[in-house]
Amino acid sequence: MHNDENEEHWTDHAICRGADPDLFFPIGYSAPVLQAQEDAAKAICANCPVVADCLAWALRVGEPDGIWGGTTPEERRYLRRTAEAPARRRLPVIVVRGDASENEHASAA
């Protein structure tokens, strides 16, 4: 929340402020009509100067609905999942005798 009435917030610069809110909250995301609605909302987001702030906010609060920062709920879930996933490391190669030829043993070591 704002502490100062004159303080600006990223939402003050969002170009969706005057748009129909229903455009950004489709009932579903699969039917062709709803896909067109999603595309229209994302087109507005694509030209917004605060799209990164909007997406960051939606990810931070876990916004479950609507188009935020040019993303659908499914896209945001994917972003959160990949951001929270631990870094992947290559596992060491383990060779059991008799499983590989001598050349493969040497290259695995």
Q: Which residues are annotated as a binding site?
A: 16, 45, 48, 54
- Which residues line the annotated binding site for [4Fe-4S] cluster? 16, 45, 48, 54
Contacts of 63 (CB under 8 A, 6+ apart): 57, 73, 76
Q: Find the DSSP H helices in the chain.
A: 32-46, 51-61, 73-84, 102-108
